[in-house]
Structure 1
Amino acid sequence: MTAPERRSERPAPRSTAPPALVVEGLTATYGPVTALREVSIPTEPGRVTAVLGANGAGKTTLLRTISGLVRPQAGQVRLGERDLTGAAPETVAGAGVAHVPEGRGVITELTVEENLRLGSLLGRRRASGRGGPARGWSLDDVLELFPAIAERRRRPADTLSGGERQMLVIGRALLTEPDVLLLDEPSLGLAPRVVTQIFAVLRDLTEQHALTVVLVEQNARSALEVADTGVVLALGRVVAVSEAAELAADQALRHAYLGF
């Protein structure tokens, strides 16, 4: 008689609503250069907000300002009732904002599983601060979500392809128990098939787990297909905010700012 097949169940949606991310009026500079000018973006639990625009528009600076890597000169970042404006990156991460920067920063000397367990450490610290157990993703959940890295869990991270590394850094971010996921150019340099897989995961994260996702993307067409809301930046200013489908249908705006 064969043993019953062991199944790993995905975490159930949280019983309490996750806190809302509020980003209002952010102004940030690099020396004499103003990179953001009174930028506000709409976000909502369970939705993807795509931030689009040409190189130099301020997209990456926006994520770095939300996550505490850049201190704003004006404006506000809040998560629920907690004011995170100008807070240190470790404070922002501990509050529930996970930032996945461009570049797929894995620790190549460690295995896939060891990289993921680094995220679990922060997740456990957050759970301890809440006074209870972790409420969300386990290592097995992440490996089920990304079968490609599950097959390589004991291999060094430097053996992974670009797409697999992107899956690894997103999985590691999930294990920090975030309420908000900031993603900077997750499709950069990846094959279209892999991009489709990763964006499908984003939809699952928002629809099934009420995660808030802020997605910075150069690939505007693909980003608008997965997003609920789109924000277009140009020279550090917001030039358009609308439902993603409406932005995708605006031919003049697409040609002017989005390149398709």
Structure 2
Amino acid sequence: MSAPDGVGTPLGTELEIEHLSAAYGPITALDDVSLPSRPGRITAVLGANGAGKTTLLRTISGLVRPRTGHVRLGGRALTGAAPEAIAAAGIAHVPEGRGVITQLTVEENLRLGALLGRRRAKATGQRGHWDLGAVLELFPALAGRRRSPGDTLSGGERQMLVIGRALLTEPEVLLLDEPSLGLAPRVVSQIFDVLRELVDRRALTVVLVEQNARIALEVADLGVVLALGRVVAVDDASSLAADQALRHAYLGF
């Protein structure tokens, strides 16, 4: 079974983020953050270190409990739910650091994602979109490494593996934290090409946190800029990339 090509399929599921605030003790990390809803699109969340980008993804996925605000997926309230419940609802979080289980092979890592995917497909009564073959087709570099232990993979192969494992959970929304970190430009380009394909042909909704603002704005549809936990700019990605004053003030290029 291959993933659907998206032709004639409805736009991806709507992720609603409204007025989120979160803190670590007395330190406010998010302050009244809302993201515009763009289902079936890539939203790039940008800003300097400490801006709140990673905290935003961790709050959406339930790893951080918000003080205020709402998270909804397809109209279903998920605010404050446990991470496993949010994952089961259809939000897959790929955190920074490429969390490969190094003692397992590539195929075993992927099959862990497929376990949740099968449970989601059964619960929703819908046919799953992803299987092992579809992921290996999307990431050919993994096909020849399927029996290799995770600790033998390059950084780029590990990033492909964790994205592939997330896809096998049958997500409606994919949260990605710094997928380009430490990777060669050629590998970054390959991974971002795959992200664009997932959105354009498979109607997946992606929220991308990325330190490399230039490349993020090239692949994204919408950009959101955070500074000290607050939203300072929201616009189409092309408009943000063309705003020289904003780039210099917040994005470093």
Compute the TM-score of the two structures, normalised by the length of structure 2.
Answer: 0.97
2:43 is the alignment partner of 1:49: yes
Q: How many residues align?
A: 252
Q: Does the 8 Å contact 2:10/2:203 carry over to 1?
A: no
Equivalent residue in structure 2 for 1:143, among 115, 136, 145: 136
Aligned to 2:236: 243
Q: Deviations over 1:117-139 (max 9, x none)?
A: 000000001011113432x1111
Aligned to 1:31: 25
Equivalent residue in structure 1 for 2:94, among 100, 125, 135: 100
Aligned to 2:177: 184
* Separation of aligned partners in 2, 1:205 and 1:189: 23
Q: Which moved more, 1:84-93 or 1:11-20?
A: 11-20
Q: Does the 8 Å contact 1:25/1:75 carry over to 2?
A: yes
Equivalent residue in structure 2 for 1:172, among 165, 168, 176: 165
Q: Which moved more, 1:36-45 or 1:20-29?
A: 36-45
* Separation of aligned partners in 2, 1:114 and 1:79: 29
Q: Deviations over 1:87-146 (max 9, x none)?
A: 000000000000000000000010000000000000001011113432x11110000000
* Separation of aligned partners in 1, 2:121 and 2:11: 16
* Separation of aligned partners in 2, 1:10 and 1:129: 19
Give the deviation of 1:179 after TM superposition.
0.4
2:100 is the alignment partner of 1:87: no
The alignment's C-alpha RMSD in Å is 1.2
Could you tell me which runs of 5 or more consecutive residues in structure 1 were left unpaired when the two chains were aligned: 1-7
2:201 is the alignment partner of 1:198: no
Relative distance call for 1:16 and 1:239 in structure 2 (3 A) is closer
Give the deviation of 1:17 after TM superposition.
4.9
Aligned to 2:54: 60
Q: Does the 8 Å contact 1:26/1:37 carry over to 2?
A: yes
Partner of 1:22, secondary structure, is: strand
Q: Does the 8 Å contact 1:43/1:49 carry over to 2?
A: no
Q: Does the 8 Å contact 2:57/2:175 carry over to 1?
A: yes
The letter for the 1-side match of 2:50 is G
Give the deviation of 1:9 after TM superposition.
4.2
Q: Does the 8 Å contact 1:53/1:234 carry over to 2?
A: yes
The letter for the 1-side match of 2:172 is D
Could you tell me which runs of 5 or more consecutive residues in structure 2 were left unpaired when the two chains were aligned: none
Partner of 1:181, secondary structure, is: strand
Q: Which moved more, 1:108-117 or 1:18-27?
A: 18-27
* Separation of aligned partners in 2, 1:131 and 1:27: 35
* Separation of aligned partners in 1, 2:37 and 2:186: 28
Give the deviation of 1:43 after TM superposition.
3.2
Superposition map of 1:62-81 within 5 A? 62-81=56-75
Q: Which moved more, 1:34-43 or 1:115-124?
A: 34-43
* Separation of aligned partners in 2, 1:60 and 1:255: 22
Compute the TM-score of the two structures, normalised by the length of structure 1.
Answer: 0.94
Partner of 2:136, secondary structure, is: helix
The letter for the 2-side match of 1:168 is L
Aligned to 2:226: 233
Q: Deviations over 1:177-225 (max 9, x none)?
A: 0000000000000000000000000000000111000000000000000
The letter for the 2-side match of 1:22 is E
